[in-house]
Amino acid sequence: MSKTLIISDLHSNIVALEEVWKKENDVDLVVCAGDVVDYGPYPCECIDWLIDKKALVVSGNHDREVVEAYRNPIEDEQITWCFSNARQMRPQDIDYLDALPMSLKVSVDNIEIGVSHAFHKYDIIRSVEDFENFSKKLFGEVLNHLVFGHTHKRGIYHLDEHLLWLNPGSVSYRRADENRKGAHYIVHDAKGYHLKHVDYPTDGLIKELEKLNLLKDQAAVAERWWRS
C-alpha cells in the first residue's frame, strides 16, 4: 500500500511546504490541487519543489492570473501579489504553469481519484447528483473520489458509502473560521484519508514581505496570518 500526500493552495509559500515535507517525506506520490503561486514571496521555489517531487498538479485560478500578469506587465511601483510574483517568474516557470491541466485522474492503489482546483466558485458538493454530474463533466465518468481546493476549507465529505470528495485546505492560508494555524493537507495510506497539519515559522516570510512594495491591502492579506 502506497502513501500519497495531497496538498493545495500553496500560494508561493515554500517555508510551509518544506515543513510539510519534513513530516511527510516518506510518501510515494504528491498530488496538488492548484494555486501554486500568488499571495506569497516564493513562487519559483514552489514550482521547483513540485518538479523535484514529480508532483501531479492541476492549474488553479491564481496560477493562470500570474501567467497573464507576466505576459501583460505594468510599470507601477506599488503592485499586487500577482504582479510581484510575475516579476520573479523565469520563462521555464511560465511554461510549467501554462502546461498544467485543468483536471486529471490519479490512480492510487487501484482507486481512481479525480483532481481539479474548484467545484463551482466557492461552492461545495452537497448532493450525489451534483457529484456525479461534476465528475462526468470533467472526467467522462463517475469517479468515487474527487479532490479539489480553492476554498481553503479542509474536509472529507461522504455523500454515501462510496462517493466522497476531499479538500486538503491550504498549505499557506487557513480560513478565517479555522482556528488551527499552520499548513493543512491530507495524507492517504493503508488506513484511508487523514486530515493533517503542521506549524511553520513565519519570521522569514515576514522579512520577505517587508521587502516587497505591495499595495497596503495586498500586504495585509499575508500579515493577518503571518503576524498573528
What are 152's three cell numbers?
481553503
Cα–Cα distance, 32 to 55 (Å, whole number)? 7
| Alpha helices, H only, the chain | 14-24, 43-52, 61-71, 81-88, 91-99, 128-139, 203-211, 216-226
Where are the domains positioned within the chain? Answer: 4-110+166-226
4-110+166-226 fold:
Purple Acid Phosphatase; chain A, domain 2 (3.60.21)
Q: What is the pLDDT of residue 177?
A: 85
Q: What is the pLDDT of residue 52?
A: 98
* Residue 115 near residue 58, CB atoms below 8 Å: yes
**DSSP annotation of 214:** B
* Residue 176 near residue 143, CB atoms below 8 Å: no
Q: What are the DSSP E strand ranges found in the chain? A: 4-7, 29-32, 56-57, 103-108, 111-116, 145-147, 155-158, 164-167, 183-189, 192-198
Cα–Cα distance, 89 to 37 (Å, whole number)? 10
Cα–Cα distance, 157 to 6 (Å, whole number)? 15
Q: What is the pLDDT of residue 122?
A: 81
pLDDT tens across the length of the chain (228 residues): 799 999 999 999 999 999 999 999 999 999 999 999 999 999 999 999 999 999 999 999 999 999 999 999 999 999 999 999 999 999 999 999 999 999 999 999 889 999 999 998 888 899 999 999 999 999 999 999 999 999 999 999 999 989 999 999 999 998 888 888 899 999 999 999 999 999 999 999 999 999 999 999 999 999 999 987
Q: Between β-strands 192-198 and 183-189, what pairing exists: parallel, antiparallel or unpaired?
A: antiparallel
Q: What is the pLDDT of residue 68?
A: 98
